[in-house]
Structure formats: structure tokens, C-alpha cells
């Protein structure tokens, strides 16, 4: 089986869940090798090996942490040119999509973005995607060069496959463009006990029907009872009821959790584009003709201020 490169998404060596999903998917295609860029590789190696990485390429250079995106694309492209992998898997984050695109151009290869599944096919890795604002599901494969595929979070359940990976330190020759945009400051994110919106297994979102910032506590309490992340529709965000960082939709964050609960959201196409690949969708809306009911697995026609507290109470009873 060919080598499959997986770009590691981490914070100071703490490996994030999407990388574990990619390693699980990579084992379907060949032999996973992790590409670790930045500081903290020693802390990450054990985790990467536990999820099947046979090898870990490490690039610990100042350029990786001090400049935006391009140094990471330089490193991944040079490793790919040397290793000649069967495919490259990259987390489908804002940085990941740009890195994947730059690497595909460098390699003269085809690029597939925002895959929600990857399997081995007769012509190499075959992906499933949602396209045209999640109106269609398509299957595709790259026809030229080394497939570069960005994969959305929650595309797979991480599965352990313990290995003892070989570690290879790589020296990279960075391009002139690598130092074009310097990071001048960093500020820590406000910490929350809730999971990251893009990585959460469950997301509870509120929309125009919440009718005010002060009422979002109803959404937050349901989310906390489920250990879920909190999302919001564009209407709620534009009204100033919830931070933009929590917006789910085509112009916000795209999510693909195991369970998505939409409360007081009508289901406009731009919102559907951000959550339609969720495995199970539940909607609560007092308008029985709301478009959201066209795509849900379960729908409740009712006042969210009556339904959501009852749901929260029942969940807490059953814990």
C-alpha cells in the first residue's frame, strides 16, 4: 500500500480531533504518515502513533510559527515531492484549504475540498462531497497527479490502531514568499467548557425565533445538557444576539456533527449549506411550512420556548 500523508492540526503539540479522523481515513487508503509542522512534536508523537501513524515527518523551523500559511505549504509540498505519496489529506479549516490549494498547484495535482468521506476506489481515493450549497451529493476522484484532499471535521470516528512511528526531522528550503506575511501578535481565545464548533459531535443552534440575545440562554442550556457546541444563524448574528464566530452557514462556519439541532431557524439556503451534511438533523419551529423541515430527520412544530426546556429537562432526567 502507498504512503498517505496527513497534515497534523495541533496547538503547541496537542493534536486536535480532525487529525485523528484523518489518520483513521488514511488507513483505508494506505499507510499513514503524519506531517507535523511547528513546535511540540515530542508531545504529539505518541498520540499520532496511537491512531496509526507509521511515520512522523517533523519540521521545526521558526518560519512555521512566525509567518502565515506559505511556510506550511512549502514544507508539505517538499515532503510530498520527496515521499511521492499516494494521497495527501488535510483538515478542511481555513488554513487547511489554503495550504491544500497551494500544495496542489506546486505538485501539478488535482484538489478536492470539503470531503465528508474518503474511501479507496479503483482510480485512487474516492470522495463524497456536498456541492452547490449542499443541494447535491457527489462522488469524485482526482485524475491528475497526487490527490490532495481536504476533509471536513466529523467525517469519521477516530479509531485507535497503535503503532510506533519512525520520526524523521526534515529541513525545508523556504520560498521567498514564505516571509511575505509576518504574524506580529497573538491573543489567546476566550476559553469555554463547550467543544469547538467545527469539531463538536453535537451542535445546538438558535435563529431569528430566539428573539433576542437575552434568550440565547435557552439554547446554551440545551447545548450544555448535551455537551454540545452552540451555533447561530446569520439572522441571529447580524442582529447582534450572538458572536459571529458561532455563525453556521455558507458565510460562516460549516459543520458536520453527528447531531444538529436547529431551534427557531427557518432554513434559508445559506444556513442549510453550512449544516446539511450533519448525520442527524432535528428542527424546532412554530411555522410548519418552514423550509428547514424539508431536510430534517425529525421535526417538532411548536414554540421553542416551550419545547426546548422540556427537551432539556428530559435529557437531564435520563443522564
Distance, CA of 103 to CA of 72 (rounded, Å): 9
Task: Give per-residue pLDDT as tens, 87-100.
Answer: 999 999 989 999 99
**Alpha-helical segments (H) within 214-303:** 216-226, 234-238, 269-275
Domains 3-179 and 202-318 belong to one CATH topology: yes
Task: Give per-residue pLDDT as tens, 35-65.
Answer: 999 999 999 999 999 999 999 999 999 999 9
Q: State the chain's maximal CA–CA distance in angstroms.
A: 61
Task: Give per-residue pLDDT as tens, 105-144.
Answer: 999 999 999 999 999 999 999 999 988 766 788 999 999 9
Estimate to the nearest angstrom the gap between the alpha carbon of 161 and the chain centroid. Answer: 22
User: Distance between terminal CA atoms of the chain?
Assistant: 44
**Shortest CA distance to 194 belongs to which of 234, 246, 157?**
246
Distance, CA of 51 to CA of 46 (rounded, Å): 9
Evaluate whether 13 touches 88 at the Cβ level (below 8 Å).
no
Task: Give per-residue pLDDT as tens, 168-205.
Answer: 999 999 999 999 999 999 887 776 789 999 999 999 99
Distance, CA of 202 to CA of 231 (rounded, Å): 10
Q: Where are the domains of the chain?
A: 3-179, 202-318
The values of phi and psi at residue 265, to 5°, are: -115, 125
Distance, CA of 282 to CA of 262 (rounded, Å): 6
- pLDDT at site 1: 67
The CA radius of gyration of the chain, in Å to the nearest whole number, is 21
CATH number for the region 202-318 comes to: 3.40.50.1220
**Shortest CA distance to 29 belongs to which of 48, 5, 10?**
5
**Shortest CA distance to 21 belongs to which of 197, 158, 160, 195?**
158
Residue 203: which H helix or E strand, with range? strand 202-206
Domain 3-179 has CATH 1.10.287.1080: no
Amino acid at each position: 500500500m502507498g504512503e498517505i500523508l496527513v497534515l497534523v492540526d495541533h496547538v503547541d503539540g496537542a493534536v486536535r480531533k480532525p487529525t485523528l479522523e484523518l489518520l483513521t481515513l488514511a488507513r483505508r487508503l494506505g499507510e499513514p504518515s503524519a506531517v507535523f509542522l511547528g513546535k511540540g512534536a515530542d508531545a504529539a508523537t505518541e498520540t499520532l502513533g496511537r491512531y496509526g501513524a507509521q511515520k512522523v515527518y517533523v519540521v521545526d523551523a521558526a518560519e512555521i510559527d512566525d509567518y502565515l500559511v506559505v511556510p506550511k505549504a512549502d514544507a508539505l509540498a517538499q515532503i510530498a515531492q520527496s515521499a511521492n505519496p499516494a494521497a495527501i489529506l488535510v483538515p478542511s479549516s481555513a488554513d487547511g484549504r489554503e495550504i491544500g490549494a497551494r500544495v496542489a498547484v506546486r505538485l501539478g495535482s488535482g484538489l478536492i475540498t470539503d470531503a465528508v468521506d474518503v474511501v479507496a476506489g479503483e482510480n485512487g481515493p474516492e470522495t463524497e462531497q456536498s456541492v452547490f450549497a449542499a443541494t447535491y451529493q457527489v462522488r469524485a476522484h482526482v485524475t491528475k497527479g497526487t490527490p490532495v484532499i481536504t476533509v471536513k471535521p466529523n467525517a469519521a470516528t477516530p479509531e485507535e490502531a497503535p503503532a510506533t512511528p519512525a520520526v524523521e526531522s526534515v529541513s525545508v528550503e523556504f520560498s521567498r514568499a514564505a516571509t511575505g506575511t509576518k504574524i506580529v501578535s497573538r491573543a489567546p481565545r476566550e476559553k469555554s467548557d463547550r467543544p469547538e464548533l467545527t469539531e463538536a459531535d453535537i451542535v445546538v443552534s438558535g435563529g431569528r425565533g430566539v428573539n433576542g440575545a437575552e434568550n440565547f440562554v435557552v439554547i446554551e442550556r440545551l447545548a450544555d445538557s448535551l455537551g454540545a457546541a452552540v451555533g447561530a444563524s446569520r439572522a441571529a448574528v447580524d442582529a447582534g444576539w450572538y458572536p459571529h464566530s458561532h455563525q453556521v452557514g455558507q458565510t460562516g462556519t460549516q459543520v458536520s456533527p453527528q447531531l444538529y439541532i436547529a431551534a427557531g431557524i427557518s432554513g434559508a439556503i445559506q444556513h442549510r449549506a453550512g449544516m446539511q451534511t450533519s448525520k442527524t438533523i432535528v428542527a424546532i419551529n412554530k411555522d410548519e411550512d418552514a423550509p428547514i423541515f424539508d431536510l430534517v430527520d425529525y421535526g417538532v412544530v411548536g414554540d421553542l420556548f416551550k419545547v426546548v426546556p422540556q427537551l432539556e429537562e428530559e435529557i437531564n432526567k435520563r443522564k
